[in-house]
Structure 1
Amino acid sequence: MTISGGAGEVKGEEPPVRSSTPFEKAEELFHSGQFIDAKIYYQSYVQGSPSGPNAETAYFRLGQIDQQIGSCSTAISFYYLLQNKFPDSAYLHPVRMHLAECQMELGHYAEAEDLFREIVMVDPDKKAQWQAMHYLGQLDEKRFDYANALAKLTRLHVESEDAEIRGKADDLLQEIIDEKLGQTQVVSLIQKFRTGFPVDKLLLKLLSFYRVERDRGNYRATLMEFFRLFPDHPERPRLEKYLKQVDENPSNVLRVGVVVPLTGNLSVTGQRVLQGVQLAVNLQNQKERGKFELVVKNSSAGRPVAQSVEELAADPNMIAIIGPVLSEDVRDSAAVARKYQIPIFSPTASAPGLPELNEFVFRNAMTRDLQGRFLAQYAVNDLGLRRFVILYPTEAYGVELTEVFSNEVRSLGGEIVASVSYDRSQTDFKGQILEIGGMADDDLKKLTQEQIANQTGSKDFGKPGHYSRPLVQMGLWTEGKIDNLKVDLELSYDAIFMPGVYDRVGLIIPQLVFYNIDDVTLLGGSGWNSPELIAIAGKYLKKGYFVDGFFPASEQPEVQTFMQNYKNTFGEDPTILSAQSYDTANIILHLLHSNADNRIKMRTQLNQVRDFPGVSGRTTILPSGEAEKHLFSLSFKKKKIIQVN
């Protein structure tokens, strides 16, 4: 085994024969990986035999162990002790490497540099020399001396015969070029190295700067310089495609990409998204439409979606991409967006955490997080509700909404009294309803009569698990009998949140009424937004509110105009996907006409969108790239769904 990388490392041989001497026991433990126990025996040995026949090895091992466990200061003391006590030791060359590594780890860069330079000059092990050269390149990088770092790493690339070290050098060189160099530095380094490696990589980096700036002239000139210097480079075919993109757009017209599935199982979804985008484009006036082109890619064409995104992103006139549609495709494309520094703006992907992937990922979709928070705020702040029971399905939609709603209610000073789950396949919800305090008529009257006869009080709502109690509205007590008894069920909570879908919610509501939970506010998410809920639950829908990201029957002027234009254009009503896509396209086009004429300006201005009047809700883009939307609060009236906010 090896406990320290780099040249001069000491690798374990076969474990020695078991013995009782401290040194032999230490070696046995060391080679079996039990370093802390080995350290005790090595220390015991050098204390008893500080100049013994195995003292050199013991001091070296003690240094190795401390270096391995991150105690570099102590390791250095052991290495110096070895150097001083045994100036002719066979360990002197590896000790020099370990000392340099420890000094570098401790941030003592000057001391480390002296040692690494000495290794390059005098170490007989060629691999150790190359390893030291790599460390010197790292030191230059840490000091922001990128020119010297690249010079050393280039030398390793050209001269080193060790594939591992050469690979590490290439990786560090690429990292410096990709992450550390500005445009001026890249130009200066190209002039310094002039040709060969790493000029090819520097030219590719320079291309990325000109692409981001949409500097057509310099972009094309850099491509031609690359072809001149590297006529047989493996990147040439790809770069020739870049040149073709530029030459096919001599007017330098701005482009907006769209990546949607147009074939296969998701073709209907893709078509609805594309129609929303197309409508936004069609409603631009002639002058506005002349400023840009829409380029559409089919994301279900039998190849990775990220590849379609990359083809669009490589075009320097492409300033933003609408899509992808699916959350997993957004994840797969996030690295491409960052590589090409182009905003990808999904109108539909709703999985948690997507905008956090990097600063170039945006979305304009109604997420479960948004639904849960918005509904909780509406319930507490607008409806004045404080105590809630949650009845949720054990599926991702219900579980996620339950968690978000609960957290937001508590943050607003509300209380979750109980949270009860059900299986999505259920049709009988008696068990769950009884668990939250429901009670059938006969049981309710029987309990009331027993309490009156025994002169016992009702349950105290202050105790856990007490969610309901009888509330006598009317009754006549004569000769031990109660006539005309009318009893309601008093609840310890104000509302029931049911983050399910309309088919099951429609079955639950009448059963709630049957068990006398009939005067409580019911709350739901977008899964309620279907006329089928009214058809199933019917007259039992009394006080119900839910939220959604789009409401076709809204009286808001922008929604009605959108509905009319969409139907006139496509002959059908839009869905929420069409609405969100329409808003996404309009946000991008609005910024484009506000001088966001390259992808960096577009990204910056996307982060500054505030209260955009979208048909899918007033929209603000947060610094994370997430859309904060003012959703539609909906309710029921005369067997119709109505907007209430």
Structure 2
Amino acid sequence: MKKKIFNFILLCYLGFYGLAYAEPESLRGTDMSEQLESIGDPFLQAEHLFHAGDFLEAKPYYHEYLSQNPSGKRSHQAFYRLGSVDQANKSYSTAIRFYQILLQNYPRSIWANSARFNMAVCYYELEDYDNAESMFKMVLRSTTDNKRKWNILIHLARIDVGRMSFEKAFIKLRKVYTQNENEDIRNNVEAIAKDLISDKLGEDKVSNLIQKLGTGFPVDLLLLRKVSIARAAGDISNYVATLKNFIELFPGHPLRGEMETRINNVEADAGTKIKIGVVLPLTGKLALTGQRVLQGIQLAVNQLPFQAREKLALEVRDSGSQVSISKIISEVSDIPSVVGIIGPLLSDEVKVAGEMARKKQIPVFSPTASTNGLVDENPFLFRNALTRRIQAKFLAQYSVNTLHLKRFAVLHPYEPFGLELKETFINEVESLGGEIVAIAGYDRSQNDFKKQILELGGVEDDDLDKIAREMVLEDRIMPDFSDSSTLSRPLIDMGHWSGDDVEKLKVSLELSYDAIFIPGVYDKVGLIIPQLAFYNINKAVLLGAKGWNSPELVRMGGKYLKTVYFVDGYYPDSHQIEVRKFVENFITNFGEEPTNLSAQAFDAANIVIKNILAGADNRIKFLESLRNVKSFPGVTGKTTLLPSGDSEKNIFALTVKRKKIVQQN
């Protein structure tokens, strides 16, 4: 697999640098099949492998050729090939040595100029800018290939960036951009300029470069960056002034219409100090879900004191229409008074929204999206969702630290949610010093779980009685739980025996573990629990996740729900005052009970509002404030936002008592 990845990287490298690895013109058009007649020749074998894309396999044959023919007629090409392979493998110092040997021993080689260019690239990658610059300029003086000349100028601009000489870099990039008709090269230059402006330049440097460079490329990109900075800082006057400056300097620019629209939006938006964007599906198949989430957000705003409420407004957009989520996020982001966005709902939408959020530098806070790793790589994405990681981690901590359980079995569904819950639970239990002694999995289509239960040490009544009688009559030693393969053993509670006669034998099943974690949904869990009892697993504590939280589980499990604990992020019958107040106010305002998602949205909105009222009145401050949310007391548990943008919650532990789900913690 690693070999295939490396080969792919080298192919990409060859394509990216173009002439850096191109065959010299004198070799182009040569039919390789004519060169490969002597397959026993190590050089020809190496070339065959190299051109087939098997670069690492080619290396030892090049070395073999050089050891046999130190001054052979193909030695210069072998050194060049070895350098190119190591360069693509990021072994830049080694690659340089091969190129140096080639240039020292074969200065007139047809590969010499390409080797110098590649050496310059290697020096650049090693941040040896002096040697890189010297070598690039040497090639620039000797090459007649215009495309390579432009490529060298781009590299020289990158060297200027490395030296923090941004003005020099932009002058070189401008030369390539304005004097070149090759669209690929122009697009490459524009992408480099955009990345440089976005990653390296602050407000003062941007303004300084605009003044020095005057007009033309890349001043348009610098002005767009200045617009973005002003918008993020909530500096409306500077925002509008920069938009007008853009139109004045670039009257024929393709973005002129968009700039004029932004100015008109600011004028129409005058009077509202701070806005919160809300992007939810209010039409289409998810309209009901979107409406319930919106109600949670609206309730958070409605409960504010009048003066605070007057400072805020919601900018609500429907994501259930045919308009792309990217366009909706872009439009909301272009309103400078919007400091952040609550939504979208679905993980796929949040991922798309995140890319636009990064571009527009606006925080996006989803109250619902729960896919693993969704927010990890984007500093502008946050969420208040009850993720599987939160559920499994909290349950493991509660089981070990509060219930004092130490040894666990796991019975999980072969579905993504079940596998993720299983893995997180196992990792957390083991980190807390607990032990996982058995794991079994089942398919969603199953209704009979005998095989899995037997794997966890379950035993049928007749078999249990038979094993116990044999142990008594044959005076066998009780199986030892120190043997990891022993998950259960008969426990004789009562009986009389004499010789070969055993009477009134009463046997139960003793387990080597304390609890079973079943990360399934109530419909299957409700079938599993009675079957566990049928196979005499009736003394273990049963543990579950959010999927258990349904009255149907109580109905299906019935008398077999003896000692069970499961978790959820929201429990409407909680004894906590803030939860009871939320439920009452929601019913009063909307005439129905809130859902889990309504509660998560209520908390997300309150986190946003609290930070804005505390002074986070622009995007820069708001982004920083979200990164510092600690133990926020919400109706879905105390919430901390992690540096990754994910949430960490102290959620609800639930159990079943007297045929009713109740809060345990």
Is this contact kept in 1: 2:281–2:290, CA < 8 A?
yes
| Partners of 2:46 and 2:477 in 1: CA distance | 74
Partner of 2:640: 620
- Correspondence list, 1:79-118, <5 A: 79-83=103-107, 86=108, 94=114, 96-118=116-138
Q: Which residue of 1 aligns with 2:574?
A: 554
Residue 441 (1) aligns with residue 454 (2): no
The alpha carbon displacement at 1:104 in A equals 3.3
Counterpart in the other structure of 1:188:
208
What RMSD over aligned residues (CA atoms) do the two structures have, in Å?
Answer: 2.6
Q: SS state of the match for residue 596, structure 1?
A: coil
Deviation at 1:40, TM superposition (A): 4.7
Where in structure 2 are the equivalents of 1:131-530 lying within 5 Å?
A: 131-477=151-497, 480-530=500-550
Cα 1:297–1:448 shift into 2, 3 Å = same
Number of positions where the alignment pairs a residue of Structure 1 with one of Structure 2: 634
What's the counterpart of residue 6 of structure 2? Answer: none
1:460-504 Cα offsets, whole Å, 9 max, x none, are 222233222221222233574333322222111111111111122
Matched, 1:72 2:96: yes
Q: Which moved more, 1:252-261 or 1:443-452?
A: 443-452
Distance (whole Å) between structure 2 residues aligned to residue 496 and residue 432 of structure 1: 12
Q: CA deviation at 1:159?
A: 0.8
Change in 2 beyond 3 A, CA 1:400/1:602: same
Which structure's CA Rg is the greater one?
A: 1
Distance of aligned partners of 1:499 and 1:46 in 2 relative to their CA distance in 1, 3 Å threshold: closer
**Per the alignment, do residues 15 and 264 of structure 1 end up closer, same or farther by CA in structure 2, a change over 3 Å counting?**
same
Aligned partners of 1:444, 1:99: CA distance in 2, in Å? Answer: 76
Following superposition, the deviation at residue 458 of structure 1 comes to: 2.7
User: Using the alignment, how far apart are the partners of 1:548 and 1:337 within structure 2?
Assistant: 30
Structure 2 CA distance for aligned equivalents of residues 42 and 161 of structure 1: 43
Partner-residue secondary structure (3-state), 1:342:
coil
Q: Does 2:653 align with 1:640?
A: no
Give distance in 2, aligned partners of 1:488 and 1:90: 86
For the structure 1 residues 308 and 167, does the alpha-carbon distance in structure 2 shift closer, same or farther, using more than 3 Å as the test?
Answer: closer
Residues 502 and 20 of structure 1: CA distance in aligned 2, closer, same or farther (over 3 Å): closer
Counterpart amino acid of residue 6 in structure 1: L
Give the gaps of 5 or more residues in structure 1: 49-53
Q: 1:582 aligns with which of 602, 609, 621?
A: 602
% identical equivalent positions: 44
User: What does residue 51 of structure 1 align with?
Assistant: none
**CA gap 1:426/1:155 in 2 versus in 1, 3 angstroms:** same
Q: Secondary structure at the match of 2:71?
A: helix
- Structure 1 range deviating more: 476-485 or 283-292: 476-485
For 1:300, the aligned partner's letter is G
Change (3 A) 1:267 1:201: same
Query: Are the equivalent residues in 2 in contact too, given 1:63–1:79 (CA < 8 A)?
Result: no
Range 455-464 or range 159-168, more displaced: 159-168
With over 3 angstroms needed to count, the CA separation of the structure-2 counterparts of 1:21 and 1:468, relative to structure 1, is closer
Q: SS of the residue aligned with 2:440?
A: strand
Distance 2:392 2:198 in 1: 40
3-state SS of the aligned residue for 1:328?
helix
Q: What per-residue deviation string (whole Å, max 9, x for no partner) do you get for residues 233-283 of structure 1?
A: 111222222212211122252110111111122111111111110110111
* Structure 2 CA distance for aligned equivalents of residues 7 and 127 of structure 1: 11
In 2, the alpha carbon distance for the partners of 1:253 and 1:533 equals 49
Q: What SS does structure 2 have at the residue aligned with 1:178? A: helix
The Cα shift of 1:409 comes to 1.0
Structure 1 Cα separation of the partners of residues 215 and 334 of structure 2:
24
Distance in 2, matches of 1:122 and 1:444, equals: 89
CA offsets 1:41-74 (integer angstroms, 9 cap, x no match)? 46755626xxxxx6xx753663454244231123
Contact 2:367 2:384 in 1 (8 A): yes
Q: Is contact 2:394-2:651 (8 Å) kept? A: yes
Q: Distance in 2 between matches of 1:197 and 1:602?
A: 33
- The verdict on how the C-alpha distance between 1:60 and 1:636 changes in structure 2, with shifts beyond 3 A counting, is closer
Q: Counterpart in 2 of 1:47?
A: 71
State how far apart, in whole Å, the 2-side matches of 1:480 and 1:19 are.
Answer: 86
Q: Is the 8 Å Cα contact of residues 102 and 112 (structure 2) preserved in structure 1?
A: no
Task: Write the deviation string for residues 438-475 of structure 1: whole angstroms up to 9, x where unpaired.
Answer: 22333322322222122223322222332222212222
1:379 and 1:502 mapped to 2: Cα distance?
20
Q: Which moved more, 1:64-73 or 1:575-584?
A: 64-73
SS state of the match for residue 610, structure 1? coil
In structure 2, do the counterparts of structure 1 residues 98 and 371 end up closer, same or farther at CA, with 3 Å as the change threshold?
closer
CA contact 2:272–2:311 (8 Å) conserved in 1: no
| Closer/same/farther in 2, CA of residues 456 and 58 from structure 1, 3 Å limit | closer
Q: CA deviation at 1:329?
A: 0.8
| Number of the residue aligned with 1:33 | 50
**Which runs of 5 or more structure 2 residues have no equivalent in the other structure?**
1-10, 52-57, 88-94
Distance 1:477 1:219, change over 3 A: same
Counterpart in the other structure of 1:15: 32
Equivalent residue in structure 2 for 1:591, among 606, 611, 630? 611
8 Å CA contact 2:520, 2:548 repeated in 1? yes
Report the alpha carbon displacement of residue 91 of structure 1 after superposing the two structures with TM.
6.5
Cα deviation, residue 144, structure 1 = 1.4
1:6 is matched with which residue? Answer: 19
SS in 1 for 2:405: coil
Q: 1:462 to 1:41 in 2, by over 3 A?
A: closer
Indicate how the Cα distance of structure 1 residues 478 and 5 shifts in structure 2: closer, same or farther if over 3 A, else same. closer
Q: Is the 8 A contact 2:461 2:535 kept in 1?
A: yes
| AA at the equivalent of 1:202 | L
**How far 1:433 sits from its partner (Å)?**
2.1
Counterparts of 2:21 and 2:490, CA distance in 1: 84
Matched, 1:62 2:82: no
Structure-2 change in CA distance of 1:384 and 1:99 (3 Å) = closer
* Per-residue CA distance 1:108-163 (angstroms, 9 max, x = gap): 32233234334445544333332322221121111111110010010000112444
Give the 3-state SS of the residue equivalent to 1:504 in structure 2: helix
